[in-house]
Amino acid sequence: MAAMLQPQIILLKEGTDTSQGKPQLVSNINACTVVADSVRTTLGPRGMDKLIHDDKGTTTISNDGATIMKLLDIVHPAAKILVDIAKSQDSEVGDGTTTVVLLAAEFLKEAKPFIEDGVHSQNLIRSYRTACSMAIDKIKELAISIEGKSLEEKKSLLAKCAATTLSSKLIGGEKEFFASMVVEAVIAIGNDDRLNLIGIKKVPGGNMRDSFLVNGVAFKKTFSYAGFEQQPKKFLNPKILLLNIELELKSEKENAEIRLSDPLQYQSIVDAEWNIIYDKLDKCVQSGAKIVLSRLAIGDLATQYFADRDIFCAGRVTEEDLQCVAAATGGTVQTSVNNIIDEVLGTCEIFEERQVGNERFNIFSGCPSGQTATIVLRGGADQFIEEAERSLHDAIMIVRRALKNSTVVAGGGAIDMEISRYLRQHARTIAGKSQLFINSYAKALEVIPRQLCDNAGFDATDVLNKLRQKHALPSGEGAHYGVDINTGGIADSFDNFVWEPAVVKINAINAATEAACLILSVDETVKNPKSESAQGEAAASAMGGRGHGGAAFRGRGRGMRRR
């Protein structure tokens, strides 16, 4: 009997928590579902906002999936994957962050009954990947290209894509106003990939309609020195000099020492210092520039000197603003005032300093390169303006993507319903278990139109039945039908101009499927914290070691004294 007993093998450190098998997989799926529930109600034009309050007292109001996921500070290891896919969707496409989280959670939710019935997760993963690849092919087939259209037509199409994105945001009431502004800004920067060339400046006060777009650069008036009031505040076609130099008198270091043999020499040393600064200022004036901007300080002396010669100057301009001015005006930032040639000077049609709310803004418009744009945002509370900025960021990203990948699909859940129908039809042609798995994948895609209805207060079952009926028409004429948010029924999303770039949907389905497959492939979680008892033992043993050492030393000391 004793021989039959297996010796107990201790493999992992004491205090290690291991969970494995089916219960662990179901637990991970449940955690992801809970995460999705936190952003579920933010989807679509009638989505609700979340107010997130952190321990520093900062309040954020947002319905942007990526922002909410970031601020929730999720600690569950499996649920963190959903945070990552929301972030990747945000950086890659800019919109569809809530969609991607909802889809991933819904795929897992549909897989849960199969896992509980003992289906091996690898079978599910294989079918899900097949369904994903078919869905993406179908999207590409259904997408409509906007390539080859005139600029005006293109602008109108892009504005509709931007309006679809903005309709679910806090500034949805003014979506047409902001959509055209976003399109103008994106077209202004052309093929340049640097997003920071579109500046967004926030000025509290006024209403949203007071926001405006500058085809160039605008930045807040910098720190001003005496003599600033006497400088001209408006120029037509000025030359602009950009510097990275301090134009002020510098006091000597505290330990500077000069030995003089003749007291008369002292005056020449003082004069030398003044001559250096005057020489710099004179070279700036000789360059023919009417506007001098520097990243470093421009002191009282220089400000007064420029004012006397009808030149505008601004010091301590931020690096980002200076680079934007350089890109817009065609100037180059100089680190020396020697040998300033015309090629390094920038220019613009109009420069003016204008009052915006309580702030003064320096505005450069009509820039030759036309590669920058600035949106000056107005609004009430700070939280409102912050959310408006996040909304515009999403719209800007969408328009950029639509310009580069110029295909669009019908929004409002239309594309999701069409892929769902296509996959259900395909599932009927397959034998075996994978028929059920692909069918469940198709069912999961319906979460988007269903959630749009729920968030708007419509009867989701009724609307989805109508949509299924419309999409099942053999002629294919119902392929563009989605949820009509205004009437609570269904409508042709293309005719209603509810469009989104195909790349948004492709990226969302790809990322959501990958995340679901990743979570389904995990069957064990090992948590190995340093338990308090282990830390206590370590501390005790460390102290014990030191104690013995001390005692040994004292013993030797006594022994030596005895000898």
The residues, ordered by sequence, that sit 6+ positions from 130 with a Cβ below 8 Å of its Cβ are 434, 438
Q: Say how far apart CA 420 and CA 438 lie, in whole Å.
A: 10
Same domain assignment for residues 420 and 517: yes
Which run of H or of E encompasses 487? Answer: none
In a domain, 10, yes or no: no
Q: Look at residue 185 in the predicted model and tell me its pLDDT.
A: 84
In a domain, 485, yes or no: yes
Judge contact between 347 and 237, C-beta under 8 A: yes
Q: Look at residue 13 in the predicted model and tell me its pLDDT.
A: 62
Active-site choice (90, 95, 321, 394): 394
Same domain assignment for residues 468 and 386: no
> Residue with structure tokens 């130099």?
245
Structure tokens at 100: 């991607």
Closest CA to 381 of 207, 211, 219, 209: 207
The number of folded domains in the chain is: 3
**DSSP helix/strand/coil, 412:** coil
Closest CA to 203 of 360, 93, 352: 360
Q: Say how far apart CA 231 and CA 307 lie, in whole Å.
A: 5
Taking the model in full, what pTM does it have? 0.74
Active-site choice (64, 95, 321, 492): 64
CATH of the domain at 334: 3.50.7.10
- Supply the range of the domain harboring residue 65: 17-145+410-521
Secondary structure in 3-state letters for 438-469: HHHHHHHHCHHHHHHHHHHCCCHHHHHHHHHH
In a domain, 262, yes or no: no
Closest CA to 399 of 413, 69, 391: 391
Length of the chain: 563
Domain edge (last residue) among 369, 395, 424: 369
Same domain assignment for residues 57 and 114: yes
Same domain assignment for residues 343 and 432: no
Same domain assignment for residues 185 and 244: no
CATH of the domain at 183: 3.30.260.10
Q: What is the mean pLDDT of each run of 10 residues along the chain (563 residues)?
A: 55 59 84 89 84 84 83 85 88 83 92 89 92 92 78 78 77 80 82 75 83 84 78 85 82 66 78 82 86 86 86 86 85 84 85 84 80 83 82 83 80 90 91 90 92 89 90 83 85 82 89 92 75 45 42 39 40
* ∠ CA 234-356-349, rounded to 5°: 30
CATH of the domain at 488: 1.10.560.10
Same domain assignment for residues 105 and 35: yes
In a domain, 155, yes or no: yes
In a domain, 319, yes or no: yes
Q: Say how far apart CA 296 and CA 278 lie, in whole Å.
A: 17
Active-site choice (67, 98, 164, 303): 98
Domain edge (last residue) among 319, 350, 369: 369
Closest CA to 281 of 311, 251, 319, 250: 311
Same domain assignment for residues 223 and 337: yes
In a domain, 545, yes or no: no
User: Helix H segments across 73-96?
Assistant: 80-92
Task: Report residue 12: phi and psi, to 5°.
Answer: -105, 155
Q: Can 64 be counted among the known catalytic residues?
A: yes
No. of H helices and E strands in the chain? 17, 20
Same domain assignment for residues 346 and 307: yes
Q: Could you please report the per-residue DSSP string of 200-228?
A: EEEEEBS-GGG-EEESEEEEE-----TTG
Same domain assignment for residues 427 and 312: no
In a domain, 559, yes or no: no
Same domain assignment for residues 392 and 450: no
In a domain, 531, yes or no: no
Domain edge (last residue) among 386, 405, 424: 405
Active-site choice (97, 164, 222, 347): 97
Same domain assignment for residues 45 and 130: yes
Structure tokens at 8: 């107990």
Closest CA to 332 of 246, 247, 244: 244
Same domain assignment for residues 242 and 364: yes
Q: Look at residue 130 in the predicted model and tell me its pLDDT.
A: 92
